[in-house]
Structure 1
Amino acid sequence: MFKQIVVAADGSWHSMKAIEKTIELATGRDTKVFVVYAVDSSTSKADVLHNWDTLGISEKRKERLTAICEIAKKEKINYEIKILRGEPVQVIIGFARTTNADLIVIGCRGLNPLQQMVLGSVSHKVMKKASCPVLIMK
């Protein structure tokens, strides 16, 4: 059904729900899964405050994605991890376009209506701007 799926991941609970659904969609099929972790300025600042060296920051980011790799290997999924810099919405949409993705899967933090109105959500913005179908996991 889907030949190329881009799934947004950061190791959070919501992104793991997106990963689980992506694995379900890709299992037993000839599907390539791109796991995209977008690192924006706020993520970088938080990482620097918790780790003082570049190697430590890189290792922490990889650790967040370890569980994803284990699940994908177990299910024999053809996957690739991409850690990309930039604003998450633009990174996810741009990467999906570049790879001709058939689907984007993304988790939803479950903001309340006021938070969504004021802040907007990454998943909502991706859904509005993407040129392919978007599956938002709650």
Structure 2
Amino acid sequence: MTETLESIKYQRVLVGVDCSTQAEFVVEQAIRMAQYHQAKLLIFHALPFDTDLNAGSYSDIYGQNLSYFARTMQEKLEAEGEQVREWLSAYCDRATQAGVQADWDWRVGDPGRKIQEYAKTWQADLIVLGRRGINGLLEMFMGSVSNYVVHHSQCSVFVVQGLPENTEQVTHQRILIPLDQSKYTDKILDLGLQVAKQENARVMLLHCQPLEDRIDYFREAYSEEFLHRTKALQNQIVRDTQRDEKWLSDYAQEAIDREIPTEWEIKQGDAGFWIRTVAQTWQADLIVIGRQGHSTLTEFFLGSVSNYVIHHAPCSVLVHQKR
């Protein structure tokens, strides 16, 4: 590793909350992150603009019922706004009592867009929010706050998945860190080990070797060339595996030297599939992964490991934006 465990430091953490049962757990996760990084915390809520007020048809709204519609809308926003201020203020007091410099704010509008816009204006370097757990296709075509924020934000995003069986448990006990051999690997490992050290967690390092289409199985199925190329491919896989085992075990030793219980594993094939599968079988409660920053459509149609993991992970995901 070329970086120290303190190299990634969040200074401004924005947590987006709603009125769901998951909100309290999401806020607790954000408070813990802010505590560890000694960061400022902004607790934010976007109040959706709901025009379903039984005001009649659109022709009525722009006719004799316009003043009624406007007055009813204003009263509704004021009543809901007062409720929002109460529970945001309560969350803020909780963070302050935990020693975190905290504030709160709210806006009216689409939650995904408002969270992303506010985070950009406030210069947040980490956004924390919950995820409902719908699958990738539904999120892509029907919309999801977490999906929108991950794909449009310029900073890292911590997506909190569901609620733990024990709601008093806010720490993570098993952290899965998928690693490739890109220039960002040290930073991703660095971030994962920070969280593991903070939460006294175990770590699993995972590397997935891609399987390239090096053999035309249909054209050369039984030829001498096929047998030769098959043997060459097997030898190449052995060499690649030996190299990757040395590379990954060195990273594991870095973590062990810092007294973090660590194991590692190498798989062959699709990285997204194996990250999800290992997270399930190893019972990970957090995945720390990097993201290249492609657009939503590019990731969906061309593929992205981080995009797949975000939408299919059985646990929370901390996404570090690669810059």
Both structures adopt the same fold (TM-score exceeding 0.5) = yes
1:109 shift after superposition: 2.3
**Could you tell me how far 1:27 is from its partner in structure 2?**
1.3
Deviation at 1:39, TM superposition (A): 1.8
Q: Which has the higher contact order (CA 8 A, sep 6+)?
A: 1
The separation in 1 between residues aligned to 2:181 and 2:257, in whole angstroms, is 18
SS in 1 for 2:292: coil
Corresponding residue of 2:187: 17
1 CA distance for matches of 2:240 and 2:300?
33
| Residue aligning to 1:77 | 260
Q: Which aligned runs of 4 or more in structure 1 are off by greater than 4 angstroms? A: 52-55
1:14–1:108 contact (8 Å) kept in structure 2: no
Matched, 1:102 2:285: yes
Q: How many residues align?
A: 135
* Conservation of the 8 A alpha-carbon contact between 2:209 and 2:266: yes
Q: Identify the match of residue 61 of structure 1 among 241, 244, 253.
A: 244
Task: Specify which of 163, 174, 177 is matched with residue 4 of structure 1.
Answer: 174
Distance 2:260 2:199 in 1: 8
- The answer for the alignment partner of 1:34 in structure 2 is 204
Q: Is the 8 A contact 2:177 2:287 kept in 1?
A: yes
Distance 1:25 1:60 in 2: 28
CA distance in 1, matches of 2:177, 2:290: 9
- Superposed displacement of residue 122, structure 1: 0.6
Structure 1 Cα separation of the partners of residues 270 and 299 of structure 2 = 18
Q: Residue in 2 aligned with 1:86?
A: 269
The share of aligned pairs that are identical, in percent, is: 26
CA distance in 2, matches of 1:95, 1:117: 22
* Structure 1 residue 122 corresponds to structure 2 residue 292: no
From the superposition, tell whether residues 111 and 28 of structure 1 become closer, same or farther in structure 2 (CA, over 3 Å). Answer: closer
Q: Is the 8 A contact 1:92 1:126 kept in 2?
A: yes
Larger mean Cα displacement after TM superposition, 60-69 or 20-29: 60-69
Task: Let me know the Cα RMSD of the aligned residues.
Answer: 2.7
Does the 8 Å CA contact 2:249/2:264 hold for their aligned counterparts? no
Matched to 1:59, the amino acid is: Q
Q: For residue 134 of structure 1, what is the aligned residue in structure 2?
A: 317
Unaligned segments of structure 1, at least 5 residues: none
Q: Distance in 1 between matches of 2:291 and 2:247?
A: 18
Give structure 2 stretches of 5+ with no counterpart: 1-170, 215-231
1:112 is displaced (CA, Å) by 4.7
How far apart are 1:94 and its partner, in Å? 0.6
Task: Point out the more displaced range, 28-37 or 74-83.
Answer: 28-37
SS in 1 for 2:267: strand
Give the secondary-structure state (helix, strand or coil) at the position aligned to 2:306: helix
Deviation at 1:120, TM superposition (A): 2.7
TM-score in terms of structure 2 length = 0.37
2:277 counterpart letter in structure 1: G
- Checking the alignment, whether the CA contact within 8 Å between 1:14 and 1:137 is kept in structure 2 is no
Which letter does structure 2 place at the counterpart of 1:129?
H
Partners of 1:72 and 1:11 lie apart in 2 by 17
Tell me the alpha carbon deviations over residues 27-84 of structure 1, each in whole angstroms, 9 at most, x when there is no partner.
Answer: 1643110001112313x96xxx9xx545422222124325522421331111111001
Is residue 7–residue 34 contact of structure 1 (8 Å, CA) maintained in 2? Answer: yes
Output the amino acid matched with 1:83: I
TM-score (norm 1): 0.81
